[in-house]
Amino acid sequence: MTNQEALTDYVLRLGDSALILGQRLCEWCGRAPAVEEEMALMNVGLDLIGQARNWMEYAVELQGQGQDADQLAFTRDAHQYRNLLLVEQPNGNYADTCARQYFYDAWHYFTLKALCDSSDARVAEIAAKGLKEVTYHLRRSSEWIKRLGDGTEQSHAKMQAAIDEIWTYTGEAFIADAVDEQMQAAGIGVDLALIHEQWRAHVEATLQEATLTCPDMQAYMQQGSKQGIHTERLGFILAEMQFLQRAYPHSTW
Amino acid sequence: MAQAHDNAPDHPVHYQVPELTDSLEASLRSADLITTDRGRTLDFHGRRPSLDEVWALLAQVADPEVPVVSVVDLGIVRELVWAKEVLQVYITPTYSGCPATELIESEIKLALMQAGIAQVSMHQRISPAWTTDWITAQGRAKLKAYGIAPPEGSASKAALFGQVQEVTCPHCNSQNTQRISDFGSTACKSLYKCNACLEPFEYFKCI
C-alpha cells in the first residue's frame, strides 16, 4: 500500500467516526431530557459533522477521482465505512449516550492533540481546528459521567450498567493495523500505544471520581471496523441517513 | 495539499471601525435582526477600490447569526488581495460545523458584487484555526451592548479546560454569574445566569 492510499484510509476513519456519531447524536433531536441537553447534543453533533466534512474533503482530494465529500457520505455502503464500532452503537438511555460519548471524546481528544504534530500539514491543521471543539466535548461528557455516577442510587446503577455494556467496543481504537503502523512510521499518524496510555489514565481518574468501577482493561475487545466489518447497527443508520440520495440520486437543494 | 500560510497576517484588521458612541449603541440595540445588508454605503462601480476601502465595506457585512457584529469584527475575514482585477478573499470559519459558513461566504460575495467588484474569488483557510482572540475591541463592545458577554481573556488552554475566568454579566456588570450550560443556541455561545440581576444571558465562549 502506498503512503497516499494508507493516508486516505486513515483520514476516512477519522471522518467516518465523526460523521456516524454526529448522525447518532442528532437522533436525540426533539427527545432530549432537557432543553440545555438538546442544544448541547445538537452542538456536539454539528461540530462532529463539520469535522467529518473537513476530513472527507481531504480524502476525496487524496483519492483524486473527482468525487465530493457528500458522495463519500451518502453513497458508500456499510462495508466501505471505516468508523469505530463504538460510535454506531445505539443511543439507549441517557447514561448509554453519555458513556459512548465520553469514551469517544477521550480517545478523540488525545488523538487530535497528537495529530496537531502530524508531518502532513493538512492533517495537522484539521486536527488543530477540531481539537478546540473536542476540548469542550470532553469536558461536558466527563462532567456527565461524574454527575450520574456520583448521583443517586439509580443514576449510579444506570451509569455503571452503561459503561459495562459498551466496554467491549472501547478497545478497538487502540489496536493498530497495517495502516496505523504505516502512518505512524511516516510521522503522519499517532502512536496508538501512547494514546491508549493517556486514554486509560483519563478514564480511570474520571470513573474513580464518579465512584464507578472501571471494567477490566484486559477484557476481550470487539474489532473489525478498520476492515469494514461492522455491527448490524450501521446499516440502519445509513438507511436513514442516505435515504434521499438513494431514492433520488444526485438530488440537490 | 495545504497552502503555505506564512504570509497570513497576525491580525486581519488594519481598518478601524468607528468608536462605539451612545448613538451607535442605540442604533445597534434597535437593529433589524434579519436584514444583513443594512447601512452599506460604499460604492465602487467604475473603479478598483483600495484594500482599505474594501475592508471598510466588509466591516458593514453583518454576521448572520449574531447580526450586531460584522464579519470583520469577528475576525472571519483574514486577508484581502488584488490579483489583477480579481479580488481574493480569505476567510476562516469559526466552528467546523458552523451552519452559517456558506451563508457568510455568499453574503461577503454579494456585498462585494453589489458594490461593484465584479470578480471575487473566495478561499477558506482553516489554519491557523479561528480563535476568539481575533474578535476586535469594537466587536467585543458591540456584543456586550447587545446583551452577549464577550469572551474573557485569551484562548489559553486553561480557559478551554474548565478554569473559566469570571464571566461578567453584560446587563449589570456583576461578576457573580453562573454557567447553566456549555452549549447555547449557536456553537459559539454558552448559557449563563446572573446571580445579581437574575437575568439569563449568553456568553461568547473562548476558543
Q: What is the CATH number of the domain that holds B103?
A: 3.30.300.130
One-letter amino acid at A174 equals F
Summarize pLDDT for B194-204 with one digit per residue, the tens: 999 999 999 99
Q: How far is A106 from chain B (nearest CA, A)?
A: 13
- Please list, in sequence order, all residues whose beta carbon lies within 8 angstroms of the beta carbon of residue A223, skipping any fewer than 6 positions away: A85, A171, A172, A175
Size of interface A-B (CB pairs under 8 A): 79
One-letter amino acid at B47 equals R
Give CA separation, A184 vs A3, A111, A113, in Å. 11, 12, 15
CA closest to B4 among chain A residues: A121
For residue A166, the model assigns a pLDDT of: 98
Interface of A with B (CB under 8 A): 22, 36, 39-40, 43-51, 53-54, 121-122, 124-126, 128-130, 132-133, 135-136, 139-140
CA closest to A132 among chain B residues: B207
- pLDDT over 90 (residue A115): yes
Does A136 contact B205 at a Cβ distance shorter than 8 Å?
A: yes
- The model's confidence at residue B21, banded by pLDDT at 50, 70 and 90, is low
CA closest to A36 among chain B residues: B181
The three-class DSSP label of residue B202 is strand
Query: Is the CA virtual torsion B156, B159, B160, B161 positive or negative?
Result: positive
Question: Distance between CA atoms of A2 and A19, rounded to whole angstroms?
Answer: 26
Whether B101 and B63 share a structural domain = yes
The runs of H, that is alpha helices, within B47-177 are: 51-58, 101-114, 137-146, 157-160
Does B129 contact A125 at a Cβ distance shorter than 8 Å?
A: yes
- pLDDT over 50 (residue B207): yes
Q: Which of A22, A43, A128 sits opposite B187 (nearest CB)?
A: A43
Does B99 contact A46 at a Cβ distance shorter than 8 Å?
A: yes
Tell me if chain A has a CB within 8 Å of the CB of B162. yes
Whether B190 and B128 share a structural domain = no
If one counts the domains in chain B, the total is 2
Does B127 contact A128 at a Cβ distance shorter than 8 Å?
A: yes
CA closest to A41 among chain B residues: B183
Q: What percent of chain A is modeled with pLDDT above 90?
A: 97
- Sort out which chain B residues have CB atoms less than 8 A from A36's CB and list them: 180-181, 183, 191
- Sort out which chain A residues have CB atoms less than 8 A from B98's CB and list them: 46, 50
Whether B175 and B76 share a structural domain = no
CA closest to B185 among chain A residues: A39
Summarize pLDDT for A12-65 with one digit per residue, the tens: 999 999 999 999 999 999 999 999 999 999 999 999 999 999 999 999 999 999
Model ipTM value: 0.85
Whether B127 and B172 share a structural domain = no
- pLDDT over 80 (residue B18): no
Note the CATH architecture for domain A3-247: Up-down Bundle (1.20)
Summarize pLDDT for B98-135 with one digit per residue, the tens: 888 889 998 999 999 889 998 999 999 999 999 999 99
**For residue B140, is it within any domain?**
no
| Domain termination site, one of B132, B163, B183 | B132
- pLDDT over 50 (residue B153): yes
From the list A239, A221, A242, A251, the residue with the least C-alpha distance to A84 is: A221
**For residue B120, is it within any domain?**
yes
> Per mean pLDDT, which range of A102-106, A165-169, B67-71 is the poorest?
B67-71
One-letter amino acid at B18 equals P
CA closest to B94 among chain A residues: A129
For residue B35, the model assigns a pLDDT of: 43
Question: Distance between CA atoms of B191 and B180, rounded to whole angstroms?
Answer: 5
CA angle B129/B132/B135 to nearest 5° reads 115
Does A54 contact B96 at a Cβ distance shorter than 8 Å?
A: yes
Summarize pLDDT for B160-197 with one digit per residue, the tens: 555 556 899 999 999 999 988 888 888 888 999 999 99
Burial environment of residue B128 by CB neighbours within 10 A (0 to 12, 13 to 18, 19 or more): middle
- pLDDT over 80 (residue A8): yes
Does B97 contact A47 at a Cβ distance shorter than 8 Å?
A: yes
Summarize pLDDT for B31-85 with one digit per residue, the tens: 443 344 555 678 888 889 999 999 999 999 999 888 899 999 999 999 999 999 9
A170 φ, ψ (degrees, to nearest 5): -90, -20
Whether B68 and B157 share a structural domain = no
Report chain A's mean pLDDT, rounded to a whole number: 96
Q: What is the mean pLDDT of residues A171-197?
A: 97
Residues, chain B, total? Answer: 207
- Sort out which chain A residues have CB atoms less than 8 A from B95's CB and list them: 46-47, 50, 133
Q: Which domain holds residue B167?
A: 147-204
For residue B157, the model assigns a pLDDT of: 52
Question: Cβ(A48)–Cβ(B95) under 8 Å?
Answer: no
From the list B80, B83, B93, B86, the residue with the least C-alpha distance to B125 is: B93
- Sort out which chain B residues have CB atoms less than 8 A from A126's CB and list them: 126
For residue A237, the model assigns a pLDDT of: 97
One-letter amino acid at B198 equals L
**For residue B137, is it within any domain?**
no
- Sort out which chain A residues have CB atoms less than 8 A from B205's CB and list them: 136
Question: In what helix (H) or strand (E) does residue A42 lie, and over which residues does it extend?
Answer: helix A35-63
Whether B30 and B111 share a structural domain = yes
Whether B31 and B93 share a structural domain = yes
Whether B157 and B119 share a structural domain = no
Whether B97 and B196 share a structural domain = no
A142 φ, ψ (degrees, to nearest 5): -60, -40
Whether B39 and B87 share a structural domain = yes
For residue B8, the model assigns a pLDDT of: 42
**For residue B6, is it within any domain?**
no
For residue B7, the model assigns a pLDDT of: 43
Does A128 contact B128 at a Cβ distance shorter than 8 Å?
A: yes
Question: Distance between CA atoms of A132 and B98, rounded to whole angstroms?
Answer: 14
Whether B157 and B185 share a structural domain = yes
- The model's confidence at residue B20, banded by pLDDT at 50, 70 and 90, is low
Whether B119 and B157 share a structural domain = no
Q: What is the mean pLDDT of residues A67-90?
A: 96
Domain limits of chain A? Answer: 3-247
Q: How far is B20 from chain A (nearest CA, A)?
A: 31
- The model's confidence at residue B10, banded by pLDDT at 50, 70 and 90, is very low
Question: Cβ(A127)–Cβ(A112) under 8 Å?
Answer: yes
Summarize pLDDT for A119-153 with one digit per residue, the tens: 999 999 999 999 999 999 999 999 999 999 999 99
Q: How far is B25 from chain A (nearest CA, A)?
A: 30
The three cell numbers locating residue B18: 468607528
Any bridge partners for residue B202, and if so which?
B148, B191
- Sort out which chain B residues have CB atoms less than 8 A from A14's CB and list them: none
